[in-house]
Copies of this chain bind each other. A is one copy, B any other.
Amino acid sequence: MSEPFVYLKGEFVAASQAHIAIYDASVVLGATVTDLCRTFGHIPFRLEDHAARFYRSCKYARIAPPLTSAETLEVAQELIRRNSAFLPPDEELALVLFVSPGELKVYAGAAGGAGDMEPTFCMHTFVLPFRFWQHYFTDGVHVVTPSIRHVPPQCVDPKIKCRSRMHWWLADQETHLVDPNAVSLCLDLDGNVTETSGSNFLIYTGNEIVSPSRRNILPGISVATVAELCDELGVTFVERDFQVYDVINATEAFLASTPYCLAPVTKINGLAIGNGRPGPMLHRLLNLWSERVGLNIVEQITMRDGPHSQGD
């Protein structure tokens, strides 16, 4: 079979048949809760943690997925099993979960009108396009702070993974004026560093790995992994607000994200961080992480044909 399955509205369907109605709240409101997990050697990594975070997001957003958490885990495993069956061993899957409140009656014509909205629940996979991130590991990532600010928690709490992401789209448009390969690092309304549109952001400075305080960020599972690795390595891991000055003068900086785990950030707003090259702390962390998952994370990403630079 050449086409992956998608689990949509209670059924496994062929990906090419997986569509969302234009009346769905996911299209009309962006009121979608989501999460994303990946495999290592075709085995999902911390799937339970991702599912738990997904259900926490759903509770906050008051969107009840039609499946229990246990059922979701089961379907997820099944979907990964099916979609990785014919996958080469050096390819990995991302698993995406999302749920919206369902189709909007006003838009849909709403003939009946009596019943409640039924949530649209979907799980699908895609092959991790490693070449998108190869240049992260060869050149390092350039982050840019645009004038657009991160949405504050009294509007939408960044601790939920949701799909109302216009501010990130806008941030990226500004950022790409500086460098088409750069990644937006949004500040909060008070000028604190937060996260990027697709990853958490960490700095290594004064023998501490520092994460922005929880108020402004998704509680990243990769960050949690980093914290555990720090513990093993005897490196202090702390959470506190920091600012652009601290990034400029950090020893190293990283993006932490499910698809590529941990990538070196070597420039901010055109200024080199440290010596402008991926540093030893990155390698210590990635080596330990690689041991945990039984494969060389960086090698898997970079051992492809020619790197690709447009990282959207």
Q: Enumerate chain B residues within 8 angstroms of A155, measured Cβ to Cβ.
A: 148-152, 155, 167
A108→B164 CA distance, assembly (Å): 19
Q: Known contacts being A21-B19, A29-B163, is A126 close to B146, with CB within 8 Å?
A: no
Is A170 at the interface (CB under 8 A from chain B)? yes
Q: Known contacts being A59-B271, A153-B245, A157-B243, is A163 close to B215, with CB within 8 Å?
A: no
Please report which residues of chain A, range 159-194, place their CB below 8 angstroms from some CB of chain B when the two chains form the complex: 159-160, 162-170, 173-174, 177-179, 187, 189-192
Is A26 at the interface (CB under 8 A from chain B)? yes
Q: Which B residue's beta carbon lies closest to that of A178? A: B177
Is A277 at the interface (CB under 8 A from chain B)? no
Is A42 at the interface (CB under 8 A from chain B)? no
Please report which residues of chain A, range 15-39, place their CB below 8 angstroms from some CB of chain B when the two chains form the complex: 18-23, 25-32
Asked if B62 contacts A153 (CB within 8 A), the reply is no
Q: Enumerate chain B residues within 8 angstroms of A153, measured Cβ to Cβ.
A: 190-191, 243-245
> Within the complex, what minimum Cβ distance (angstroms) separates A257 from chain B?
12
Binds B, one of A43-51, A74-82, A109-117, A278-286: A109-117
11 contacts between A and B (CB under 8 A): A6-B22, A19-B19, A20-B22, A31-B168, A31-B169, A113-B129, A117-B312, A145-B174, A159-B245, A177-B179, A215-B241
Instruction: Please give the residue numbers on chain A whose beta carbons come within 8 Å of chain B beta carbons, in ascending order.
Output: 6, 8, 18-23, 25-32, 56, 59-62, 96, 98, 101, 104-110, 113, 117, 122, 124, 126-127, 129, 131-132, 144-157, 159-160, 162-170, 173-174, 177-179, 187, 189-192, 213-215, 240-246, 248-249, 269-271, 308, 310, 312
